[in-house]
Amino acid sequence: MSLSEPIPGSTIRAVHDDFHGDLLEVSMGPHHPSTHGVFRMIVTLDGEVVVKLKPVFGYLHRNHEKLAENNAYLASIPYTDRLDYLCSLTNNWAYVHAVEKLSGIEVPERAEYLRVILGELTRLINHCCLVGFLLNDLGTSFTPLLYSLRERERMLDMIEALTGSRMMCNFMRFGGLRTDVSSEWLAQLKTYLDTTFARYLDEQDALLTGNEILLARTQGVGVLKSDLAINAGITGPMLRASGINYDIRKVDKYSIYDRFDFRVPLGDHSDTYDRYMMRMLEMHESVKIIQQAIKDIPEGPFIDPKAKNRGLRPKAGEAYARIEGPKGEIGFHLISDGTGNPYRYRVRPPSLINLTVLEDMCLGQTLADTVIILGSVDIVLGEVDR
């Protein structure tokens, strides 16, 4: 097989169809912390170069969507926690947003501020984990991962103090939140972000961003061109790493995001390094949003007193609602037939959609690079097999 033509921006040579010699097909995985037993790749190799890659998933049998069609609307909130177990609060938010849209429930202003604070805190938890796991996939020392897990635990301590749970929070409610947030909790969060988490960001940036190992292993690796990203429906940091200025917080201006000053980072080279940088830069922006929300949060009710969570029966109709989750667009499509259960319940999970371009990013790369490329996608299998 001829490997004479270089891929633009990469040292890996392009793969042609005129094969000469034997190809090797291997079952690869699991290699990522989120893929134990539920994801593998069937990889066809010419030497160490990937010429074909098929992601294989579908072993969880969660049956999330069918379960929800047999439950009352309120009873499905805890199930959304398990879709992406790193991001239960944003999963809650997207679902209750869809039910509120379907049933016409209003959300008090204080509750909107609190949802933004919790949504951005969830983004920080997700992104700092991604940075740590990606460096672990790279085969570097455990140091970046341990730094990330240390900060995750500190943030989970605050989540637990508020919701009673570290990961499966079940905290959002139609029309607001399950409980209010104390001024002491908000002050603790602000102090943490201004001091401890700011030091973490500086620490990781100094350790990683210009690190020669990270640069060598990620620049020009796993390129995802902008036109393919758009056509495949890719969203979130993966899309923005390909240079596409699309953030649902800016596009839809849902909740009260139009009140906050923040920028949307964009990549220049569409590669794994840019996907790493998107998470680092977005953490800075999330901190800015939380700081503004804490400063401006008003007093008032934390839930619409008219919202009747028990026995909710929306009028016949349908609604789709989406938010900018840490991994991209997470949306819920609900159809009501006027009963207490949704007639149809469908989830649009970013991990599933973003995985569809894995082969395209891996073709022409080496076998060792596939693990890094997969890590840069940022997946949780709970929302891949729903």
Query: For position 63, what pLDDT does the model report?
Result: 86
How far apart, in whole angstroms, are the C-alpha atoms of residue 11 and residue 49? 12
32 vs 41: CA distance, rounded Å? 12
pLDDT number for residue 141: 74
Pick from 351, 377, 344, 378: nearest CA to 66? 344
Tokens of 284: 């800075």
Question: Are the C-beta atoms of 16 and 3 separated by less than 8 Å?
Answer: yes
The answer to whether 135 and 372 are in contact (CB under 8 A) is no
Query: Token pair for residue 155?
Result: 């943030």
336-to-279, 309, 316 alpha-carbon distances in Å: 37, 16, 5
Q: Are 385 and 38 in contact (CB under 8 A)?
A: yes
| Amino acid 7: pLDDT | 40
Tell me the pLDDT tens digit for each residue of 334-344.
999 999 999 99
Q: Which two tokens stand for residue 277?
A: 């940088």
Residues of the chain with pLDDT under 70: 1-21, 31-34, 308-310, 386
**What is the rounded CA–CA span in Å between residue 176 and residue 105?**
10
| Contact partners, residue 226, CB within 8 Å, separation at least 6 | 242, 243, 244, 270
pLDDT digits (tens, 9 = 90+) for 184-219: 999 999 999 999 999 999 999 999 999 999 999 999
Give the separation between CA 208 and CA 1, rounded to whole angstroms.
37
Measured distance CA(365)–CA(8) in Å, rounded: 13
Amino acid residing at 257 = Y
The Cα-based distances of 7 to 14, 16, 68, 347, 361 in angstroms read 6, 12, 46, 36, 12
Gap between the Cα atoms of 85 and 80, Å rounded: 9
The answer to whether the CB of 329 falls within 8 A of the CB of 236 is yes
Amino acid symbol at 312: L
- Residue 181 corresponds to which tokens in the numbers above? 């947030």
Position 15 scores a pLDDT of 43
* Ramachandran quadrant class, 176 (left: phi over 0; alpha: psi -120 to 50; beta: rest): left
The SS3 assignment for 356 reads coil
Q: What is the DSSP letter of 58?
A: -
Residue 82, token pair as written in the block: 């398990």
Residue 143 CB-density burial (10 A; 0-12 exposed, 13-18 middle, 19+ buried):
middle
Query: If DSSP codes are grouped into helix, strand and coil, which group holds residue 349?
Result: coil
| Domain 64-383 sits in CATH 1.10.645.10 | yes
Compute how many other C-beta atoms are within 10 angstroms of the C-beta atom of residue 274: 25
Report helix, strand or coil for 2.
coil
Predicted TM-score (pTM) of the model is 0.91
pLDDT at 140: 79
Distance, in Å, from the CA atom of 373 to the CA atom of 152, rounded to the nearest integer, reads: 23
Rg of the chain, C-alpha, whole Å: 21
